[in-house]
Amino acid sequence: MSDGDAELEARLAAQEEFEPPAGFVEQANVSDPDIYGQFEENWPNCWRAAAELLDWYEEYEQVLDDSNPPFYKWFTDGKLNVSDNCLDRHLDERGDEAAIEWVGEPVDEDNVTYTYEELHREVNEFAAALLDMGVGEDDVVTMYMPMIPQLPIAMLACARIGAPHSVVFAGFSADALATRMNSADSEYLVTCDGYYRRGDPLDHLAKANEGLDGVEHDVEGVVVAERLMDGDGFGHDLADNQHAYADLVADQAGAEVDPVERDAEDMLFLMYTSGTTGKPKGVKHTTAGYLAWAAWTSQAVLDIKPEDTYFCSADIGWITGHSYIVYGPLALGTTTMMYEGTPDYPERDRLWEIVEEYEATQLYTAPTAIRAFMKWGAEFPERHDLSSLRLLGTVGEPINPRAWKWYYQHIGDEECPVVDTWWQTETGGMMITGLPGVKKMKPGSAGPPLPGLDVRIVDTKGEEVKAGRAGYLTVQKPWPGMLRTLYKNDERFIQEYWAEYSDTDSSDPDDWIYFPEDGAKIDDEGYITVLGRVDDVLNVSGHRLGTMEIESAIVGVDGVAEAAVVGGDHEIKGEAVYAYVILEDGYEGDEEMRGRIVEGVEDAIGPIARPEQVIFTPELPKTRSGKIMRRLLEQIANEEELGDTTTLRNPEIVEDIQQQVQSD
């Protein structure tokens, strides 16, 4: 490292605040600091600004109907269509401009550009095919697909005909697919033959078929898109109720389907997310509020303009891909990018190669990826011209100051603001982050709440904590992008999210506030640092995984008597799965058993839940009432100083487990 580089590193390491670059502020979509005060004074009518980003068939009568909290309604009685807002209205001015740039994994493969005109045509043709299959308004269509263009096409086609979609992450297991289809009463599935990962073709249809075997009701139709190239297929024959995507679209060539008028509160999609009970929750998002929120945050936070080429490296199987690959960017008429592969295949500069080739203007990625980039070294981004980038963003988990500064320096060349965004599947879009054209940046802190949001850090009595103290993150007022309920389970919706943190027993709905189950602290300037989960949900590489789901998968392995799963710090993933396992008599805690446990978790949930370490133990640390002390297991996993063990009924086991973890 040269003396100049060392001085730069030292300066950045010492710097705790960063002003937005002047050049960025001059062109930013939002640059007026008064927006915070204006939104507060004009709440909830301030959210007309989000609604104005959309086209309406019938104007809404009321911005917010809060007569039945927490079942809030936004833009009541308004009529619109999401597919129309993402496609049709852009055709006159941007019909021949790129809507989606799709980059496949194999580098020698031809990538695909869909103009708005081409995307509109294929969405119409597939919408006609769905109608011909019998899909009707309000039928839930499940999609079990990787990052291929047919996924957003199917989503927009469903939106066009008023059929909600439920996207299941392609990395999830067959059981996960069956569970979600059963929960949603979904009679239709869109999937594919396979896809590529690190140069290898994966047989996705076999997994989809296995999942379909677990669906407890009749499945009326399955659509199979062909992704694999000649010679890479697995030779599957389609069943009687299965149809080739290409054939369906060809049969509907030139078809046009008028967008269905949908009420503002009609369901747009379901997204299943992990819950503390182990049973996934079907988060319900509706048409107008969700789309308005995705569009407004895309414009205000990501600074997206129609002429941009915007790159989010997430997967559409998660909410980030829904809001910030598909709906937000397309509602604004920009070019959005999709990448099928991983950031380090075939080389560790693959992501930077794509940024340079397509001249991407924004990059929105996860701290997990940034930590990996740091580990690999700055020489990989330095091989490429990244000067097209105007803004950088992070999503999925908190980013530590060191990783933030590396991203700012080596990817943004200190010319790009970095927006560290906190939000959830349930919120629909960003909640806590600085507006990049207005607010200074503090590495390690997500920033202040967005304008119009009332976010407070409170104690168990609901009282705000002092600056610098930790407490519970709460949202005190509704917002347009919020979930409306849990699918067919209003009672669980209330139990899961509303004032669960509180010691009080308030039955007054007006006192209910949204509790996202995260801890946080706030500084004297209103900047919030999110500290992590306060429930039994792990955050692995930005993906939420229920500990009970993982424990159930482990206990399902022959020979396992009991299991406890906790999260441990991980350099790349942020949080990794640590499994403490008690075996039945006659079974050995050897590598073969470890392999069976790992395989069992991957089969039941998917590779994302793969345990980092499996620790065999004759007992688990438990209180005298029989409760597993997961706090101690987390401390062992993180090699931290152990807390009080005197209240345990078996304190001697803690040291035994600690020694075993260290020896492994």
User: How far is the C-alpha of 522 from the C-alpha of 547, rounded, in Å?
Assistant: 28
The pLDDT, as a whole number, for residue 2 is: 56
Token pair for 238 = 């389609």
User: How far is the C-alpha of 27 from the C-alpha of 476, rounded, in Å?
Assistant: 33
Token pair for 34 = 């008064």
Name the residue among 284, 301, 336, 364 with its Cα closest to residue 100: 336
Name the residue among 64, 17, 21, 56 with its Cα closest to residue 452: 64
Domains and CATH numbers, the chain: 421-533 (2.30.38.10), 537-663 (3.30.300.30)
The residue type found at 225 is A
Check if the beta carbon of residue 579 is closer than 8 Å to that of residue 524: no
The pLDDT, as a whole number, for residue 504 is: 47
For 545-575, letters b (16+ CB in 10 Å) and e give bbbbbbbbbbeebeebebbbbbbbebeebbb
The residue type found at 239 is A
The alpha carbon of residue 525 and the mean position of all alpha carbons in its chain are separated, in whole angstroms, by 28
Check if the beta carbon of residue 649 is closer than 8 Å to that of residue 622: yes
Residues of the chain with pLDDT under 50: 501, 503-507
The residue type found at 166 is S
Check if the beta carbon of residue 274 is closer than 8 Å to that of residue 264: no
The pLDDT, as a whole number, for residue 7 is: 66
The pLDDT, as a whole number, for residue 517 is: 80
The pLDDT, as a whole number, for residue 469 is: 82
Q: Which residue has the tokens 């697919």?
A: 177
The pLDDT, as a whole number, for residue 509 is: 55
The pLDDT, as a whole number, for residue 423 is: 96
DSSP code, position 538: E
Q: Which residue has the tokens 């011909």?
A: 132
Q: Which helix (H) or strand (E) holds 537?
A: strand 537-540
User: How far is the C-alpha of 243 from the C-alpha of 226, rounded, in Å?
Assistant: 11
Cα distances (Å, whole numbers) of residue 657 to 474, 597, 634, 654: 36, 18, 12, 5
